[in-house]
Chain A
Amino acid sequence: MTAIVDYGVGNLFSLSSSLKALGLETIITRDADQLRAADRIILPGVGAFGDARAKLDDTGLVPVLLAESARKPLLGICLGMQLLFDRSFEYGEHAGLGLIPGEVADLRGDLTDPALKVPHMGWNSLHIVKDDPLFKYFRDGEYVYYVHSFYARNCADSTLGTSQYGNVAVTGAVRRGNVWGTQFHPEKSGDAGLRLLRAFAEL
């Protein structure tokens, strides 16, 4: 059973549809016991970091997620991935969950080519920098779908894959212990994304 954390942030429908298309048993929940009983957990999210963190805090699930991430695979997607880091500088400074060392910063601050647009939107090739069971069905260089203005940095030790955007190697996929994250949306990344989710479901 894969539990998708429902904390009022993110389109859970497309994600749960993708998992169901893979034939995976899925539950959308904000119930601590269901998260404890699940085989693995997905933390989704879009929008603003501060708001998402506040909403996650409101659910009271943060301690549960921290505890369960030591026992079973946890995957953060997009903003859900950003939340895994120590902190974010998205219009202020916000504390993340601290599960992966690193920070989340504005892409615009680091891009040197003014011809590049922000948000970084659309398909980009994911370059695997560290092999991982998450890539069991994924080939180096396959295209994945991004929609983001902020990105994780200073997290080289945890980085599994990057996508080049101008001078910036955008952190695309990360892992530390039982905790994985993707900046891109696997549920919007076609067949390659589905294969990545399948691999996660087999962890």
Chain B
Amino acid sequence: MQIFPAIDLSGGQVVRLYQGDYDQMTVYGQDPCAVARDFLAAGATYLHVVDLDGAKDGTLANFDSIAAIARQGGLYIEVGGGIRTEERIRQYLDLGVSRCILGTIAVKDFAFTERMARKYGDQIAVGVDARDGYVAINGWKELSNEKGVDFCRRLYKAGVGTVIYTDISRDGAERGTNLALYRELSAIDGLNVTASGGVSSLDELRELQRIGTSAAILGKALYTGRLDLKTVIEEVGSC
């Protein structure tokens, strides 16, 4: 399985939110590059970066931090948060970012998403955030009326090869991930599913690997020390 340690950025700092709530933010570091280097030293191949400020208002507040991480090299980097135009996709790809994650825009403008997926191939992924099985939009505050699983099927038909599926109710809560959900998603032929949200034990990661989940994002569990990245990669990492 591909293991993506996560760096969520706000104001240039490394932070974690609790269930997507900007009012429940914990700062874990001032230097994103140093955090990325630590991940690299633990054996990471992949890195998941979220621009929380960009997700909120579409600005590029953390662009310099992301550029600096990309410049360090050595990691496959995917970036999400506020990517709503092709121009922004190009800006990130030009930095050396490997993959851009479309979020809310994928729900709001499916035609754009399909066009980008066809044009950029596996340099585009879609982040599907869902609560109670339904797709959430606008910073997780609203629910759409489409089931997350159906949306993923539709995305795959539109040329999206990778979906990062976050179960909001589990995110940042370290209560364990939603295995039944990922079993259903991973059964979709051809779609690479990244599990995100609440992954907090090696047993869960082993089970995710067993059911064919392509990747997992680790956030809070790494920052609180509940999971050790090096151990995780040794146990379930791919090469």
Interface residues of A (CB under 8 A from B): 8-11, 45-52, 78-79, 82, 90-92, 108, 114-119, 121-122, 147-150
Contacts and interface: CB of A to CB of B under 8 A. Distances in A.
A92 B70 CA distance: 12
A114 B238 contact: no
Nearest to A119: B238
21 contacts: A46-B43, A46-B239, A48-B40, A48-B43, A48-B44, A51-B43, A79-B239, A91-B74, A91-B75, A115-B189, A116-B190, A118-B192, A119-B1, A121-B1, A121-B209, A121-B212, A121-B238, A147-B238, A148-B238, A149-B2, A149-B239
Contacts, number: 82
Contacts of B237: 46-47, 147
A82 B45 CA distance: 15
Contact of B234 (A46, A49, A82, A114): A46
A148 B45 CA distance: 12
A10 B212 CA distance: 21
A114 B44 contact: no
Interface string B12-48: 0000000000000000000000000000110111000
B214 A47 contact: no
A91 B40 contact: no
Given A9-B43, A11-B235, A150-B239, 12 more contacts: A46-B234, A47-B44, A47-B233, A51-B40, A79-B239, A82-B239, A117-B214, A119-B2, A119-B214, A121-B1, A147-B238, A148-B239
B237 to A, nearest CB: 5
A122 B210 CA distance: 7
Contact of B238 (A46, A50, A115): A46
A49 B1 contact: no
Interface in B95-129: 98, 122
Contacts of A79: 239
Please classify the interface of chain B as helix (H, G, I), strand (E, B), loop, or mixed, using the class held by over half of its residues. Answer: loop
Contacts of A45: 239
Nearest to B186: A117
A91 B44 CA distance: 12
Interface in B144-191: 161, 189-191
Contact of A118 (B44, B214, B230, B236): B214
B239 to A, nearest CB: 4
B233 A46 contact: yes
B73 interface: yes
A48 to B, nearest CB: 4
B44 A147 contact: no
B140 interface: no
Contact of B45 (A47, A116, A118, A121): A47
Contacts of B63: none
B223 interface: no
Contacts of B98: 91
B236 A147 contact: yes
Interface string B206-231: 00010010100000000000000010
A117 B214 CA distance: 7
Contacts of A119: 1-2, 214, 238
Contacts of A11: 234-235
A199 to B, nearest CB: 23
B156 to A, nearest CB: 9
Contacts of B192: 117-118
Nearest to B231: A11
Given A147-B209, A148-B239, A92 B73 contact: yes
Nearest to B235: A11
Nearest to A113: B190
A90 B45 contact: yes
B238 A149 contact: yes
A11 B44 CA distance: 15
A49 B74 CA distance: 10
